[in-house]
Structure 1
Amino acid sequence: MKLFQRLLVAPAALGLMAPMAANADITSVSNESEVIEARVDGVEAQLDEIQAGAFSSTTTMSGKAAFVTGYVDDDTETDSDKITFNYMYQLNMNSSFTGEDLLYTRIKTGNFDKGGRFADKGNGTYLSATKDGSADALKVDKIWYQFPVGDSLQVWVGPKIENYYMLASAPSIYKPITKQFALGGNASTYGSSTSPGFGAAYTQQVDDPSAGRFAVSVNYTGKGADDAKSGILDDDAKEMFLTKVEYGTPQWQVSAAFTSKTNGESYDGYYHTKAGETYSKDLTSIGLRAYWKPETSGSVPQVQVGYDVASVDDAAVGDPDEMSAWMVGLGWTDLFVDGNRAGVAFGSRQAATSYNGAGSDPAEDNTVWEAYYTFKVNDGVSITPAIFGGSDVEADGKDVNGAVVLTEFKF
């Protein structure tokens, strides 16, 4: 660093030599050298002050692109089995100002039609790789700031965040193809839509990294809190409060989460009634999760299970007042070939199990499933053929099935 600084100040030092040469008081080369050295040291000191007061951060960027080719066969829609070709593109920027904090920004785009075949939350064919409704527009998709308080507490705050990012650890280790199997079952407990929010997570410190430890996470997200109509913690806001308590090791974990959705938070995409309605009543939900993974990869799979049960406050007569969902996911790493992986999941999407008064949900006994195998071409490219399907998945009891080839480029 000193060499670099001297290279920077050398021109200034040379500029100082001319007036000194004309100075009659300097009669020897040794005296001139001492004066030059003193002035160079002075310039270095000033450079050190500038560097100490300058804005400093470390920013890294990564990203991925996904090509999706496939079809969905929906037995109630005309020409629903046509093959389509879509893309998603994502940039992740991570900035740190102290070495322990994080400013995360995600920029994302894609050309999946909102509500289209691979963006249909009602059918369960919404893909994890989908970016819907963007119409090729490059937008800030997520942005938040995260920082530690002491050794055990982590804090988040941001104008675009979801509740499952503000957790001590993820509730699921299963890697899904369709989003309905994300988070151990994408039901009503986890998976708030992108909103302003804040949260904190406490993690017990243990001397042995393989030992069990407790962790507690609490967070808030407010849909519409970024405009004047609702605001944060406002009576008219569509809010979601989540608390997760977990215990486990790097190999296994059990957790329970409690969620309260208030003031009109809809359940769009999570369950469907015989008429396909969504509702604006308050809701409380409990999500139970557990996972286990073997010590070595190979033929023994990782196991993920999830169960959600929810109730609607003050449900109107003829509306659903209770609902549930469950899933089981199996995952294999380094299956057959090092770097390749596979996954199989099945379960039941969230559906009404009870009505206030007369009523029943044709989707109450729905079943959904998926299976895939990922070929690792190299460190940056993978190809994943996958199949998926379901029965009685929506209000009219229709069946769906589909297949995709997902090609991902990571950089």
Structure 2
Amino acid sequence: MTEASAPITQDVATIPRKLPEGGKRNIVGLTREGLAEALRSIGVADKQVRMRTGQIWQWVYQWGVRDFDAMTNLSKAFRADLAEHFEIAVPEVVKREVSADGTRKYLVRIAGGHEVETVYIPEEDRGTLCISSQVGCTLTCSFCHTGTQKLVRNLTAGEIIGQVMLARDDLGEWPEQGKGSDENGPRLLSNIVLMGMGEPLYNFEAVRDAMKIAMDGEGISLSRRRITLSTSGVVPEIARAAEEIGCLLAVSFHATTDEVRDRLVPINKRWNIETLLNALREYPRLSNSERITFEYVMLDGVNDSDADAKRLVKLIAGIPAKINLIPFNEWPGAPYKRSSWERIEAFADIVYKAGYASPIRTPRGEDIMAACGQLKSETERARKSRKEIAAEAGL
């Protein structure tokens, strides 16, 4: 089997919380259909399943309730039955750090004792939560700190949506019972980006189910246009993401030639720039999205020349897009340096004059290693020498 025809599934499982004998099932992460089936399994009559599912859903995802006994529109007997069979559990926050710029980073422990990182970024007009989809990452992008951590496993849907729930806990943003999420003014957590640890499209089903919960109008109720999934280019899953999730798409592009992208984003050896761009041209139509975001990390002397900028706008011609320029966030042992501000502005100017929005992302949370490309669980932060990392990057 050739590299190009090899299956895209990874040799890693999405491991649900292991239950002890007679243990309780966690309902966090179940889709509406999954919750309905779980209720049937404990004897809820078919004619009541839809109503009971809706009631429990609203308590858990709209008002953030974790105790069945607080669900006062359910009978005491039914609440006791739920508490006997189920639990409402989210991942544990092991450590919380706050940057000088207000960015919050959470070290989150999930089933099996594994840890991932979640980041909340406050801005004037929004609050964005960057969530993880895997423990570690398999893609080994050479500029990314997370890429130096080996992949352990996929997160479950409950562990993914649980990151949203624990952040709302910390922000004190659950609305009062009986009220909607937006009735008390603008949201602190208004946007989700799947840009944390892992490649979301290598954990498709769990990501899809978690985002369905996030978008549900009777729960967390975030518009699909407030959710952005970032992929390094898992081409066979891009059309599926458009049809089954429909959120905004961002692509970790970072280079304008296959030679350079092979080194920066090794998945390019499997699905090269031409193949990736062909898939991206269809995404806005399939998902009814306005445009695709191309993420482009600025690396000094590697991908930041005027020629790179001109190639970039030529490559993406015909794709509704914006180019998000990311000053490289350095980390201990990193084999690259951040492009100078003058070089970044010159690159941005070429892109802008070609008709594309080219915002330069302001680094956030660098003092707590929470910036783009820096996420890496503290307990797994194995130190590698600069020479070792450079060798792995092919430098």
TM-score if structure 2 supplies the norm length? 0.30
Higher Cα Rg, which structure: 1
Pick 1 or 2: higher relative contact order, CA cutoff 8 A, min separation 6: 2
- Structure with greater strand percent: 1
TM-score if structure 1 supplies the norm length? 0.30
